[in-house]
Structures are given as structure tokens and as C-alpha cells.
Structure 1
Amino acid sequence: MHDFNWKKLQNGSDIRGVALEGIPGEAVNLTPEVVRVLGRAFVAWLSQKLEKPATDLTLSVGRDSRLSGPELAKAAMEGMTAAGCRVFDFGMASTPAMFKSTVTPGFDCDGAMMVTASHLPFNRNGMKFFTARGGLDKQDISDILALAENRNFADSAEPGSLEQRDFISVYADELVAEVRQGVSHPDHFDRPLQGLKIIVDAGNGAGGFYADKVLAPLGADTTGSQFLDPDGKFPNHVPNPENKQAMASICQAVIEHGADFGIIFDTDVDRGAAVDRSGRELNRNRPIALVSAIVLREHPGSTIVTDSITSEGLSQFIEGDLNGVHHRFKRGYKNVINESIRLNNEGRESWLAIETSGHGAMKENYFLDDGAYLVTILLIELAKSALKGESLTDLIANLKEPEESREFRLGLGVEDFKTYGNGVIEKLEAFASDRDDWEIASPNYEGVRVSCRSPQEGGWFLLRLSLHDPVMPLNIESNVTGGVAKIASRLLEFLKSFDELDLSPLQ
């Protein structure tokens, strides 16, 4: 491991790597040996941060359904126990549950590790880390990787202990209690979802527990739920609420079974999306609008922080219909969450941070991006609406949605892609400033966002740099048929002068 590139494992605030062979050109770099060292490095980092000897630390380790998960989780725990820690093996778990183990009485873990690579292909895996303060940041991951590279560790004279514990049931019980209290059903307090058919699609990830451990005790009929069994080959569809095939599958299941509601999770359950009883997707701007309506009823005037690609109609809905404040910030769930926390620290009340990808975090829930908790909030509202003879989606009846919406991913064929991409953005901003019918959005926190005011275009676009990849995502929305093509055509003419920009998606 002398020449091993530890830095290559960093993916923002996570660790990601190739754990299994099977895809040409993707060499394995996340081996049990590497993960054993990472387990030790996490202990060393935590010991420094908490000023607590490793032998006094209690850690938890969980994993999703990936094929490489059991072996990598075992390796991580071997590294931790070698350092003298007490370690809880949670087995199959969700990412949000791993954080909760740091703040739940009876567990009170000093740190937690989730072995997951979210929705990435079967051969990938990775790690997410938590303390009671929340998920680790980018710099924390860099520090852990530096410790791993140095490997200046000494084994404890006495190895630590390893205990198998069922924490996902503890986490699920909290969600059950949340629904019972939130609905406060006058006739069926313990079974407030009685009479409702709710379908869960776990995509063979770690979210299957939600049907058996949350919905069933609440009285819901879960007939028609699908792909609940963990299977790291993901044989049915990618476990990702942003995937078209995955969403089509849950929509079809809701229609076929006449369900009142459909739920779909990503692999590690930090993201979720929903489907209404008509089979309509509640993802991207719609769940943001729904949860905003709930939050602003409880906390009038609160600021809702979203990512940069939310629609103009959502802004109008939050500010015009709900009398809240819409703060559109950068892409990246940690960016959105940290911005909401920053606003609160400055005295500007913000109870919701949420991305169009399905990552959503609420102040009342430790600002944890928790797909199961967000879905649970929607279920409470679903049951309360049913009691009044209303529909959940009545809450967003006034939400204006675009006629067309597209994302084009433009590759950058240059090594220093960030410098080149920022140059494209700078020149586009100058170009847009000279157009009479284009208006640069302000404030704007990444890339360049432009409102297109002509009747033929009637929309907006945002060109930005990807957080990690040599790609410039271009999002275009329009309120008129053919508007996206009109905006894209004008942009194409301008962008043709950049030789290192792959414009084939626009062509």
C-alpha cells in the first residue's frame, strides 16, 4: 500500500471507491485491507476531536445491501476493535439511522460509519461518517485520509468488543411514534394509517424495513410493495428516485394496486420520493412545495433553502402563496444543509433545507438528510387530509409547474476543467448581460442563472460546473411548448466557440 492514492477515495464529504471487479476499466481500490485502515483512521480522528482515548470510544457500523458490504463492514470493525473501541455491528441499516445512533439514549455512540455508495453501480462502495454533531464535512474526510496514509497507529493492549445490535428497529419505532403523535387519530390512535393502502419500493436497497417496521404497525395496507428484499445486484431497477425507470416502476405499482400513496427510497434511505394516488410523481419541485407548505404552516415566514435548479414556480409558491422566504443556494446536499444552519445561527429562522434530488433535512430532525423522516412527514399529512376528506396534494394546488424541463450534461475535455469551466461561465454572464430579453438572476450562488423573458422562451436556464466531475450541467425550463429548444438553440450558437466543451447533448 506504499504507493496507494488515498486522496482518490474522497468524494466531497464521503468516501467512494471501486469494491468489486466486473466493470471494464474500473480497477478495485476499496479493498478490505484499505477499509481496515480507514476504520483505524476514523478512530484516530475521533479520538483527537473528542480528546478521548480510543479505548473509551463507542462506535457503530452499518451497511446497505451492496454485495461488498458485509466484507467491508467486517474490515472496518476489525480496525476499530484493534484500536480498543467498543463497536456495535448494526448489520443492514440506513444512513440516517447511523447518525441517530449517536444521539439515542442507550446507544450514545461517539461516532458512526455507514458502508454505502448510495445509488452508484453494484461494483462501487464507500463510507459516510457521523458524530453527534452530524455528518462529517469535506475537510474532515481529508484529515481521515491523511491519517490513513500515514498509518501511525498502535494496537491496543486489549482489543475492543464487538456486539451485534438491532438498531433499525429502534429507529423505525421512533418513526411510528412520530406518526401516531402527528396524526392523533380520534378513533385509531395506534393505527392512524388504517384504511390507507401504501406501497413501498425499496429497489432492493436497505429501505425494505419501512413497510414491515413502520407502515404495518400503523395499520397501513402495504399490498403491492415491491423489491423490499436486499439484493446488491439491484436486479429490478437502480435504487434511485431520480432514475426514470425506478419512478415509472413505483408509479405503475400505485396505479395497478389502486394505492393511496407510493414511496420509493434510494439504496441507503437518505433520499426518498413519493407518488400520489393518481400515479403522479411527487419528486423534484413537488415534494419541496409539499413539505414547505407543512413547515410554513408551523413556522410562518421561515426561510426554505433549496438547491440552485428549483423552478420559478416554486419560488412564487413559497413566497406568494405560503408567505415564506425562498433562498436558492448551491447544489450539493451538504451545501444546502450548511446554508440553512448558517442562516439559523445568524438569527434568520430556517426549518427546511432540501434539494431537488430528494435530499431533505429539517431543523426539528437534527438537519439530517433523512428520506424516511421526510416521507413520514408526508404520511402524517396524508392521514390528516384523509380524516378531513381531502387530498394531500390539495396543499400544492397553486404550484405552477413548467411546461418543459431538461438537463443537458456538457463534458469538458481539458485537464484543468474547473478553470476552463469558470471561463465559460464568466463569458456567458457577459453575453447574457447584453441581451435585452435575458436577465441575470440575483442573488445567485453558483454558475450563471438567467431568466428568459421573451414570449417564445418564457423560462430560465442555469449553467454551472459539476461539484466533482469534468461536466457542465445545463438546466433549462420553460413555461411554453418549444421554449426549451428555443433557449438551447440560442445558447448553442454562443457556446460553439468553446472547443473543449462537448455540445453533442444540445445538438
Structure 2
Amino acid sequence: MDKFWKQFKSGTDIRGVASEGVAGQKINLTDEVMEKISAGFVLWLSKKANKPADQLIISVGHDSRISASRIQAAVTRALEPAGVTVYDCGLASTPSMFMTTVDLKCDGAVQITASHHPFNRNGLKFFTPDGGLESDDITALLALAEKGDKPENVPGGSVKPVAYMRDYAKHLREIICKGVNAADYDHPLKGFHIVVDAGNGAGGFYASDVLEPLGADVAGSQFLDPDGMFPNHIPNPENEEAMASICEAVKEQKADLGVIFDTDVDRGGAVDHQGEEINRNRLVAVASAIALEGNEGGTIVTDSITSSGLKSYIEETLGGKHHRFKRGYKNVINEAIRLNQEGINCPLAIETSGHAALRENYFLDDGAYLVTKIIIKMAQLKKEGKTLESLLAPLQEPKESVEVRMPILTEDFRACGEQVISGLEAYAKVHDGWQIAPDNHEGIRVSFGKDEGDGWFLLRLSVHDPIMPLNIESDAVGGVKLIAGKLYDYVKTVENVDISALEKIL
């Protein structure tokens, strides 16, 4: 594949520039490109489903981005002439588009989104009834697009508007009613004040179509209207400004809970009634507590940067097992699926970014479903005179933590990064007090004792980019700087890596 087509691959998604407005970023997701990729999907899906194209049903939805209508038109132009029945779902969340393959029996689904990326970018996510496509599948689609392969034009194709988000919201309401099982069964959230922050993405429905009909007070909810310019803050639960905004809203409203979604609602975060984040390690902890109910001793798969305190919480407080794996939401999901296939009870795969996939929900990373489960748990705890904060009380959180990203300055960045990690592993083995984690699956994770920084670092290679992310955590004040200094003695000797971000810590 040449560089032009390779640039659109972002792991298991298609990503690119779809709108003008950012200096130096020229549109590359043109109508022609979108039509060719969509035609490639029809060919790929026809082969996978073992159906001719004119027997396929494919749903298409989009988030709030300003380029959504243009790209949806391009996608439809590739599908309809091939005889495909297209279900036009309009503004929709990414998880709901997968659910069309379950509830509407679609052979495939296309979501037009670039998640939390800037307004000028967009892309495509693809689903079949088996879940999201894998990296190799995206490569195959792009190879077809590069060659210009497309299905034959046949009569019979059609586009049908489908209001599936209405059904999806009803499904979430039913889950809450059943889970809370209140005396007023149809209004289980009466008396609860919940603030929703949709970041002007596709998640505004959660306040109006899920919470309000169940009796919740949603006053103070913010940025619910779709606006693809994202004028208020980046719709991303990992973004500091976004989280500060929802935390402040919860405190102002004296709400019981705050929830926040990314643009396409495949990630979510929460805020407790004190205005404290339930995010990253705290989100993983709450999700683990929920997932292990009825799955005693089960295994929780997380990404590689979760804290030591979280491992203790999962294993000692909850009685589960913690399986630390690689970064990348598809990596943790696929690992959880693999463990279950081997007979290991694994009910949850979750990244600290907020991607959470429960086995009971098709291992679909669904921010609205996760938030729904948290709301149920909050209501259940209230009956017992407890709160989400009491659930998290045993979780030991680090005193200090930091993440820095060190660019790799050579074209063959993967080989360079792997050489740096290999050299660091050899370095760690000959230095006293450097304890290499035996259960790490990417990069190198090293722990240090109480007098040596009382924490750990993880140095890894980015999944897609020429960057080496470095995470450091410590249970002691000043520990991060001490650990960073130990690592610096090694990385200052390597070539083709910009270590200035690490030097700033020192």
C-alpha cells in the first residue's frame, strides 16, 4: 500500500482531515476517497457474510462533526448503487451502530466519527455482528480502495431513515429499571440529580431520552446540543478542561452524580457527589466492582498503565484477578475474549482512557452502557446507606503521577523504540533495586522500593505514532522525580529520541 492510502489507517479505524480550518492540514478525506473505502467495505463484507452485495443491509450513522453530512452522502453513494439496503440512522453513538447488527439484523454498520479529535478531522468505524473490525481488516479495505475495486452496479438499492437511537435509549432505560428495581419501577431515578456533559457530541440523548423519563433531575446538564465545532471543551473524559467543567457543574448543582461522554459515546466518565472525578484508575475500580458481582474470582483485563493500588483493590478488596495487558482498546477487548475462550472467567476489559467493554454487553466499548451500570450501582448503594465514594474508599491512589511523551526522531521509529526498550531491559537487570514486572505485556515496567522512589515507571512504544510514552507513579512525595532521575541516567545515552519532556521533570 502506498503512503497516500496508508495515512488513513488508525489502528482499527479510518481517520483523516475532512474539513478546512486548521493551518497546514489539507483535506484528504475527499468524497472520492470515502466512496472508494466504502466500496471496499461492501466487497469485504459481502465475502465475510457470504452474500451478494444486493442482499446486504448496512446501517450508517454519524456523530456531530461538521463534515458528517458530506461524508454520509459519499458513503451512501458507494452503497446504494451496489444494491445495498442502507439504514440511515442519522446522529448516533458508535455503540448504537454496533447494536443495529443485533437488533435490526444488519450485516454491517458504519459510524462516521473521529472520536475526540479536532473538529476538522473525521473517519469511519466499521462493525459486523462479530464486533468491530480488526487492524488487518482495515488494511484489506484500504488495499481494495487503493486498487479502485468496487461492486457491480445493480438495481434495488435503497436508503431508509431509521430512528434507532430511540430504541437504543429505551434499551438503556429498561436496564436501569430492572437493575434498580425501585418501588416506582418505571421511575427508578426519582429523587436523583444527575448532570450530563455531552461536549456537544452525540451523547445529549442520555439526559433527555434515558435519565429524564426515569424521573431523574438533569438540571445543570451542559453542552447537550450537537455542535461539530466543539465550542465549549474537547469532548473527551481524559481532557483536564472537560473533566474540570463537569466537576464544577456537579458542585454548583449539588448533584448526586455527573457523567461525561466523548464525541461518539464509546467512552464515558463520572463525577461523584463531592465533585471528585471517577476516572482512570477510579473508573476501572468502580467498573471492576460492578463486573465482579456474580463473577467472584473473575479476571479483569486492563491496559498497561494502571496503578499498583488498583491491582491491590481488584485482588485484595474485590477478590478478583488483575490481568494487565497492552494499551489500545481493541487489545484489551481481544485479550478478554481470548481468556474467556480458554475457560477463564473474564467479565470486563477496560482501558484507563475510559474504553470499557463488559462481556454481558457483547464486549462492546460503550460509554453509555458503562455509565448506566454506574448509575444502577449508585442507586443500589443508596438503599444500603452507602455511596460510590464508600465503594472506592479502599482504593490506594498514588501520591504522584505523570505521563510524558518522547518523540522518536527517525523514520524507522518502531525499530528505534524497540531497541531503546531492549537496552533498558538489559540496563535494569544489572542495577540493584530495579524490579522488572513479570506480568507486563508491552514495553518495560520497573518498580522501585520505598527508599528508591516507592513506585514504578512504564516505558513503551505508541501503538501508532513515533512516540515513546512514559508513565511514572509514586506513593511518596518526590518519588516521581527520583524515579525519573534513575531512568534519565539510561535514556540520556540513547540516540534519536527527544527526551526534553523528561528533562523538564528533573
User: Within 5 Å, which residues of 2 pair with 1:284-299?
Assistant: 284-299=280-295
When the two chains are superposed, the root-mean-square deviation of aligned CA atoms in Å is 1.2
Taking the aligned partners of 2:485 and 2:79, their CA distance within structure 1 comes to 56
Q: Report the equivalent of 2:141.
A: 144
- Letter matched to residue 241 of structure 1: P
| Aligned position for 2:80 | 81
Contact 1:456–1:480 under 8 Å retained in 2: no
Matched, 1:470 2:466: yes
Match of 2:272 in 1: 276
Alignment of 1:277-426 (within 5 A): 277-426=273-422
Residue type matched to 1:231 in 2? D
Name the residue aligned to 1:156. 153
- Please, which of 429, 432, 438 is the counterpart of residue 428 of structure 2? 432
For the Cα contact (< 8 Å) 2:53–2:151, is it kept in 1? Answer: no
What is the 5 A alignment of 1:52-201?
52-104=51-103, 107-185=104-182, 187-201=183-197
Please tell me whether the aligned partners of residues 62 and 90 of structure 1 are also in contact (alpha carbons under 8 angstroms). yes
Q: How big is the shift at 1:353?
A: 0.2
Report whether the alignment pairs 1:226 with 2:222: yes
TM-score, with normalisation over the residues of structure 1?
0.98
Contact 2:36 2:150 in 1 (8 A): no
- The code of the aligned residue for 1:477 comes to E
Letter in 1 for 2:209: K
Which secondary structure state, in structure 2, belongs to the residue aligned with residue 279 of structure 1? coil
CA–CA distance in structure 2, aligned partners of residues 114 and 457 of structure 1: 45
| 1:397-445 C-alpha deviation (Å, 9 max, x unpaired) | 1010000010010111111111111111011111111222120000211
CA distance 1:165–1:317, shift in 2 (3 Å): same
User: Which residue pairs with 1:40 in the alignment?
Assistant: 39
Q: Letter of the 1:129 partner, please give it.
A: F
| 8 A Cα contact 1:111 1:131, kept in partner | yes
- Seen in structure 2, the aligned counterparts of structure 1 residues 485 and 110 have a Cα distance that, compared at 3 Å, is same
Amino acid at match of 1:117: A
Matched, 1:441 2:437: yes
Contact 2:39/2:151, CA 8 A, preserved across alignment = no
Check conservation: 1:19, 1:28, Cα contact below 8 A: yes
Alpha-carbon deviation of 1:233? Answer: 0.5
The more displaced of 16-25 and 242-251 is 16-25
Per-residue CA deviation, residues 171-194 of structure 1 (Å, 9 max, x unaligned), is 110000000001101x21111111
Alpha-carbon distance in 1 for matches of 2:472, 2:154: 60
**How do 1:488-503 residues align onto structure 2 when only pairs under 5 Å count?**
488-503=484-499
3-state SS in 1 of match to 2:469 = strand
Q: CA deviation at 1:159?
A: 4.4
| Contact residue 301 and residue 335 of structure 2 kept, 8 A | yes
For residue 36 of structure 1, report the CA deviation from its aligned partner: 1.6
Partner SS for 1:331: coil
Report the 3-state secondary structure (helix = DSSP H, G, I; strand = E; otherwise coil) of the residue aligned with 2:196: strand
* 2:195 partner SS: strand
Question: Shift of residue 78 of structure 1?
Answer: 1.5
- 1:361-393 Cα deviation digits (max 9, x unpaired): 000000000000001000001111122221122
Residue-by-residue CA offset, 1:249-276 (whole Å, 9 max, x unaligned): 0000000010000000000000000000
Q: Distance in 1 between matches of 2:73 and 2:480?
A: 50
Counterpart residue number, 1:19: 18
Distance 1:271 1:118 in 2: 9
> Could you tell me how far apart the structure 2 residues matched to 1:148 and 1:4 are?
13
Residue 506 of structure 1 aligns to a residue in which SS?
A: helix
| 434-443 or 53-62, larger mean C-alpha shift | 434-443
Instruction: Show CA shifts across 1:453-491 (max 9, x none).
Output: 142500000000001111000000000001001111121
Question: Which residue identity lines up with residue 160 of structure 2 in the other structure?
Answer: E
| SS in structure 1 at match of 2:284 | helix
- Contact 1:290-1:393 at 8 Å conserved across structures: no
| Further displaced range: 92-101 or 453-462 | 453-462
For the 8 Å contact 1:437–1:454, the answer to whether it is kept is no
Q: 2:246 aligns with which of 244, 247, 250?
A: 250
Change (3 A) 1:462 1:4: closer
Contact 2:304 2:442 in 1 (8 A): yes
Question: In 1, Cα distance between the equivalents of 2:74 and 2:299?
Answer: 43
* Structure 1 runs (4+) greater than 3 angstroms displaced: none
Unaligned runs of 5+ in 1: none
**Distance in 1 between residues matched to 2:301 and 2:385, nearest whole Å:** 31
For 2:221 and 2:352, the matched residues in 1 are separated by 24
SS in 2 for 1:348: coil
SS in 2 for 1:5: helix
What is the number of residues matched between the two proteins? 503
Structure 2 length-normalised TM: 0.98
The 3-state SS of whatever aligns with 2:293 is helix
Matched ranges for 1:196-215 at <5 A = 196-215=192-211
- Measured in 2, the distance between the counterparts of 1:159 and 1:70 equals 23
* Deviation string, structure 1 residues 276-307 (Cα, Å, up to 9, x no partner): 00000000001111111122222101100000
Q: Secondary structure at the match of 2:401?
A: strand
In 2: Cα distance, 1:295 partner to 1:3 partner: 44
The answer to whether the Cα contact below 8 Å between 2:286 and 2:391 also exists between their aligned partners in 1 is yes
